[in-house]
Amino acid sequence: MNFASDNIVGASGPVLQAIVEANAGAMAAYGNDEISVRVRARFAELFEREVFVFFAATGTAANALALSSAVPPYGLCVCHREAHIIDDECGAPEFFMHGAKLAGLPGVGAKLRAEDVDAYLKGLPKAVKQMPPKALSISQVSEGGLVYGLDELAALGRVCRAHGLSFHMDGARFANALVALGCTPAEMTWKQGVDILSFGATKNGGLMAEAIVVFKPELAEALDYRAKRAGQIISKSRLIAAQFEGYFAADHWLDNARHANRMAALLSEGLARLPGVRLAWPTEANEVFPIIPQALDRALKAAGLHYHSWTELSLPETETIGKDEVLIRLVASWATGEDEVRRFLEIASSEVSRQAAE
Ligand SMILES: Cc1ncc(COP(=O)(O)O)c(C=O)c1O
């Protein structure tokens, strides 16, 4: 059983079916085909306004390109210190920003608070030797599995406006956050001040389907050229676009995300009931962050269960990991079976009982 991430499973049936249907016949290349045109219009409908949409093959490409359009080479992009863009993209954002830097701030559960961002920005010296801040990037869902509420997004949006920053959202788990909040895509983005979004579908049923969605028109001006230089103007664009058609049809994407979140909730509730196990912070979407005894960790791994140990950088001040404990991350996906969750919990529970009896 594998709870290492939500990209360890393949693509969902409706997404694959849409690719098969889009496969027949000849169509214009490089995004000028009817399916790409239709999907760009679908994004506008979903976000209830005009948007500029650029397809990308990976979330890293979407993030790096989005940020390159928002931050000049001499600029600073503020993010959480555990953000995917700073920790897991091999410097791609800095590379595509041509010298701009990422500034990582702390925050519980890998979430930024508006007041901390504001204080940081106010504290930056305004001198020619200081890189000026030009963008804020947050991940929705955060790297700690937490979901920014609409009021928190609005507060961050206000800080961006006050300091003249563009507001980027890394939405690798956009759908998981959306269903957790029960709001609309518009409410979770531009209505709170988000200017540019990396919209991820790959983790939630796509094969390789990411899109940069731009709400602030000036950020879209050169994005097609930037995308081409990055090798992200995909010649068979229709096969990327088709994935979004399958993804959006009949609310498949929302069903997938609801399922993943439900599986994570089940896992979370079951683990929190086990003696010696506690959650580092609440489970709000499809990721669970429990602190477990090292002996249990060893036994789970020996039983063939896959998941990652996690950094302790974003724990609440009131929490510490004991020397015999470890913080782990468990991720549920659209394809996680309830039987897998129950089996995981059974194994964990019987291990806890066995170790207590020793
Ligand atoms: C928060 C976040 N952003 C972006 C990505 C996209 O990464 P990739 O380039 O692997 O598609 C991921 C994937 O792990 C992620 O967790």
For ligand 1, mutation pick of 7, 88, 204 (most atoms within 8 Å of CB): 88
| The two domains 13-252 and 253-357 share their CATH topology (first three levels equal) | no
Closest alpha carbon to 234 in 66, 8, 53, 1: 53
What lies within 8 Å, CB to CB, of 47 at 6+ separation is 185, 186, 189, 190, 213, 215
Per-residue pLDDT at 344: 97
Q: Which of 39-43, 155-159, 317-321 has the lowest mean pLDDT?
A: 317-321
Topology (CATH) of 13-252: Aspartate Aminotransferase; domain 2 (3.40.640)
What tokens does 109 get? Answer: 């559960």
Domain ranges in the chain are: 13-252, 253-357
- Average pLDDT over every residue of 32-41: 97
For ligand 1, mutation pick of 55, 111, 170, 212 (most atoms within 8 Å of CB): 170
Per-residue pLDDT at 61: 98
Q: How far is the CA of 83 from the centre of ligand 1 (A)?
A: 10
Per-residue pLDDT at 233: 96
Residue 49 carries which DSSP code? S
- Average pLDDT over every residue of 261-272: 98
Quick one: pLDDT band at residue 91, thresholds 50, 70, 90?
very high
State whether the beta carbon of 170 lies less than 6 angstroms from ligand 1: yes
Q: How far is the CA of 296 from the centre of ligand 1 (A)?
A: 29
State whether the beta carbon of 59 lies less than 6 angstroms from ligand 1: yes
Atom of ligand 1 nearest to the CA of 170: 3
- Residue 95 clears pLDDT 90, i.e. is over it: yes
- 19-29 confidence digits (pLDDT tens): 999 999 999 99
Average pLDDT, the chain: 97
Per-residue pLDDT at 200: 98
How far apart (Å, rounded) are the C-alpha atoms in residues 160 and 320?
33
- Of residues 355 and 266, more confidence is placed in 266
- Average pLDDT over every residue of 130-136: 97
- 221-254 confidence digits (pLDDT tens): 999 999 999 999 999 999 999 999 999 999 999 9
Quick one: pLDDT band at residue 358, thresholds 50, 70, 90?
confident
- Residue 357 clears pLDDT 90, i.e. is over it: no
Quick one: pLDDT band at residue 355, thresholds 50, 70, 90?
confident
- Residue 356 clears pLDDT 90, i.e. is over it: no
Per-residue pLDDT at 83: 98
Nearest CA to ligand 1 atom 8: 59
- 194-212 confidence digits (pLDDT tens): 999 999 999 999 999 999 9
Helices 237-248 and 252-272: angle between axes, nearest 10 degrees = 70
In the chain, % of residues over pLDDT 90: 98
- Coil, helix or strand for 133? strand
Question: According to CATH, what is the number of the domain 253-357?
Answer: 3.90.1150.10
- Average pLDDT over every residue of 166-187: 98
